[in-house]
A and B are shown apart, each in its own frame.
Chain A
Amino acid sequence: MTAEAAPRARSRMERAGWLFVLPLALVLATGYVWPLFQAGVNSFHPNTPQGIDLGHWTAANYAKLLDPLYQSILERTLRISLIVSAITAVLAYPVAFFIVRLKPKVQPWLILVYVSPWLVNTVVKSFGWSLLLRSNGVINTTLQHLGLIDAPLHLMLNETGVIIALVPGHFMFVLLPLWAAASGLDPNLKWAAGTLGAPPWQIFLRVTLPLTLPSLIAGLVINFTMNMTAFAAPAILGGVRARTVSFLAFQVNLEQLNWPLGGAIAVGLLAFTLAVVWGGQRLAFLAVRSGRTRP
């Protein structure tokens, strides 16, 4: 290839690159961006018994979001999502480092085990959980047989049930990046820290954690977002006592057929989730940077 031909060939390849992206871009545009845009537009129109009044504009739907009932549902959704993310972060570290220590041939199989919950339909999975968690389910009957409890534990139709279902369901989103980061860690760093006098917990705190933090955060962002928008688990295992925003959006949109309010709920949830993710990332990076320049 001559020097003159090279840029032309590259620009042709760049154009070809767009061609590869196009199908997915079309699917996303028609299946995601357009409906979202529609929901956004709807959310600024009043709802009437006859349907959406496209002739008038209003912010009333958003004002309704400030209602204490909705606020408490948002609070619960945030609480559940944060608890699930926190539990996942704590559990994923030992798992990732356990897997990294195995023979390279075995590692993908174990990863597959942790990915497998994601391969099962969430509705099926949630009904599966209800068989285990309900009052006369496997767990409660076993514990009662063993004489460990007198009355059945309330493991579902509350926040506990949602958390129990979401932790394994969204575990892989943190485990995968963490596993990759842990595989890439130079074992010499850990040994260097050890010979310099760092006991294992100091090695984790001062070497392993800061070096894997970017991957952990990346995983937690996805995990948290998935938790905020989970639908089947809250719907089946949370019930009316643990309603989340996604379940509320379902009720408003499909049971009450109030699309403008439903749109406002959807846009609100999106904005709120993005804000939390952005704020969390800022905080984490500030923490990392202050760790770097400590005098």
Chain B
Amino acid sequence: MSLEIEGLEKHFGDVRAVAGVDLAVGRGEFFTLLGPSGCGKTTILRVIAGIYPADRGRVRLGGVDVTEAPIHARNMALVFQNYALFPHLTVFENVAFGLRMRRLAREEIRRRGREALELVRLGALAERYPDQLSGGQQQRVSLARALVIRPDLLLLDEPLSNLDARLREEMRGEIRELQRRLGVTTVLVTHDIQEAFAMSDRVAVLEAGRILQTGRPAELYLSPASRFVANFVGPTNEVALAAVRTVADGALATTADGLAIKVAARPGTDAGGKAAWLMIRPENLRLFVAEGETDNRYEALVEDVVYLGAATSCRLAIGALRLTAVVPSAIGARLVPGALVAVGWSAEDGVIGHDR
């Protein structure tokens, strides 16, 4: 079911955990709240689930206002970071818990419980207790326990952060696959950018209780609306700009040193007199470019070279300006500190932003 949140606010004492949040999640969509710890993302999730009451604002599920509905009457399922399996119940009884609460017939509980366990490939462990399972298995039990009630909304609170790196990647794909197959509307809370990007249809980036930007992962990465988003979703080069002039096919930006940079036209490019900056992702810088090959081309001094395996990172100096470029190691192998190289980038790859 679709989810809409309108003007949500939540305070804890003097702390404003959620400071006016609006969002809309479409039916069957995988939506992620992404942000650093303390940004209010978990609080939003708990308000949606009914664990915390909202101080202000409305929560609507499938068009129905559930803001005042008690936690047990919302038909949402929540998967916790620590899984929160009932330690005194078997795997099967954990999964069957929600079905028992719905007072289903014994046969149906058995059938649907079994089905849910098969769905996460844990049919053989039904009689075990949670403390006899590995972290990944516990995670899958908690997923089965959540999905078995056929929730209108699936809420995932940092579900993968207690798993090791390889398992995390595996579960990422597994959860995404299940979500698509069942078509359940899902809200994920995470601080892990890769997790958010790999799993989500859309992502909202939060800071200090507000949503800074909502969009598809590629949108956030390539067209961040603010400096915070640009830095949070990936490494970036920040270039302080002295002036931005609109020209026929975009804008011409100038640094304090007088370096001119061509930037493609984009909404929000006009700084309107505010301090502006240019963002370029390190992998968008190209080295050894010929004259006229890219929109922007400069002579740069190689200051430092760091080999990262498949890629090589190098620090470049264009006058007083410092940029980091990440290039395939085949190209990076030709770099030595102290050398002069031609560096360039497309006007499309630079994004102008301004401080709010």
Kindly identify which residue among A188, A197, A211, A294 contacts B72, using a CB–CB cutoff of 8 Å: A197
Given contacts A195-B50, A198-B97, 11 further A-B contacts (CB under 8 A): A188-B80, A191-B51, A191-B71, A192-B78, A196-B72, A196-B101, A197-B73, A197-B98, A197-B102, A211-B88, A292-B88
Q: Which 6 A-B pairs have the closest CB atoms?
A: A197-B101, A196-B98, A188-B84, A194-B71, A192-B84, A195-B78
Q: Is the CB of B71 within 8 A of A189?
A: no
Q: Is the CB of B90 within 8 A of A292?
A: yes
How many of A's residues come within 8 Å of B, CB to CB?
A: 22
Q: Is the CB of B88 within 8 A of A186?
A: no
Tell me if B76 counts as interface (CB < 8 A to partner A): yes
How many of B's residues come within 8 Å of A, CB to CB?
A: 31
CB contacts under 8 Å to B, within A198-219, are 198-199, 202, 206-207, 210-211
Docked CA distance A38–B77 (Å): 65
**CB-defined interface of B68-101 with A at 8 Å, one 1/0 digit per residue?**
0011111111101010101111100100011001
Docked CA distance A217–B288 (Å): 77
Instruction: With both chains docked as a complex, state the minimum distance between the C-beta of B179 and any C-beta of chain A, in angstroms.
Output: 17
Tell me if A2 counts as interface (CB < 8 A to partner B): no
Tell me if A293 counts as interface (CB < 8 A to partner B): yes
Q: Is the CB of B76 within 8 A of A210?
A: no
Report A-chain residues with C-beta under 8 Å of the C-beta of B44: none
Tell me if A291 counts as interface (CB < 8 A to partner B): yes
A-B pairs under 8 A by CB, number: 71
Q: Is the CB of A197 within 8 A of B149?
A: yes
Tell me if A124 counts as interface (CB < 8 A to partner B): no
Q: Is the CB of B86 within 8 A of A189?
A: yes
Q: Is the CB of B90 within 8 A of A189?
A: no
Q: Is the CB of B80 within 8 A of A196?
A: no
Docked CA distance A191–B77 (Å): 10
Report B-chain residues with C-beta under 8 Å of the C-beta of A292: 88-90, 93, 129
Tell me if B205 counts as interface (CB < 8 A to partner A): no
If A188-B80, A202-B101, A294-B93 touch, does A195 touch B86 (CB 8 Å cutoff)? no
Q: Is the CB of B72 within 8 A of A195?
A: yes
Kindly identify which residue among A191, A197, A293 contacts B49, using a CB–CB cutoff of 8 Å: A191
Residue pairs across A and B with Cβ atoms less than 8 A apart, 23 shown, are A186-B84, A188-B82, A191-B49, A192-B142, A193-B86, A194-B50, A194-B51, A195-B50, A195-B71, A195-B72, A195-B76, A196-B72, A196-B98, A196-B101, A196-B149, A197-B73, A197-B98, A197-B102, A197-B149, A198-B72, A199-B72, A288-B88, A292-B90
Residue on A nearest B76 in the bound complex, by CB = A195
**CB-defined interface of B128-156 with A at 8 Å, one 1/0 digit per residue?**
01000000000000100100010000010
Report B-chain residues with C-beta under 8 Å of the C-beta of A197: 72-73, 75, 98, 101-102, 149
Which residues in B have some Cβ–Cβ distance to A below 8 Å?
A: 46, 49-51, 70-78, 80, 82, 84, 86-90, 93, 97-98, 101-102, 129, 142, 145, 149, 155
Report B-chain residues with C-beta under 8 Å of the C-beta of A188: 80, 82, 84
Q: Is the CB of A198 within 8 A of B84?
A: no
Q: Is the CB of B84 within 8 A of A291?
A: no
Residue from B46, B70, B76, B86 with most neighbouring chain A CB atoms (10 Å): B86
Q: Is the CB of B88 within 8 A of A191?
A: no
Instruction: With both chains docked as a complex, state the minimum distance between the C-beta of B53 and any C-beta of chain A, in angstroms.
Output: 13
Report B-chain residues with C-beta under 8 Å of the C-beta of A206: 86, 97
Instruction: With both chains docked as a complex, state the minimum distance between the C-beta of A189 and any C-beta of chain B, in angstroms.
Output: 5
Report A-chain residues with C-beta under 8 Å of the C-beta of B90: 292-293
Docked CA distance A29–B145 (Å): 55
Q: Is the CB of B82 within 8 A of A196?
A: no
Docked CA distance A207–B87 (Å): 9
Instruction: With both chains docked as a complex, state the minimum distance between the C-beta of A294 and any C-beta of chain B, in angstroms.
Output: 7
Residue on B nearest A192 in the bound complex, by CB = B84
Docked CA distance A196–B78 (Å): 8
Residue on A nearest B51 in the bound complex, by CB = A191
Instruction: With both chains docked as a complex, state the minimum distance between the C-beta of B224 and any C-beta of chain A, in angstroms.
Output: 34
Report A-chain residues with C-beta under 8 Å of the C-beta of B74: 195
Instruction: With both chains docked as a complex, state the minimum distance between the C-beta of A92 and any C-beta of chain B, in angstroms.
Output: 20
Docked CA distance A188–B87 (Å): 12
Residue from A186, A194, A196 with most neighbouring chain B CB atoms (10 Å): A196
Q: Is the CB of A196 within 8 A of B49?
A: no
Docked CA distance A220–B80 (Å): 34
Docked CA distance A200–B81 (Å): 23
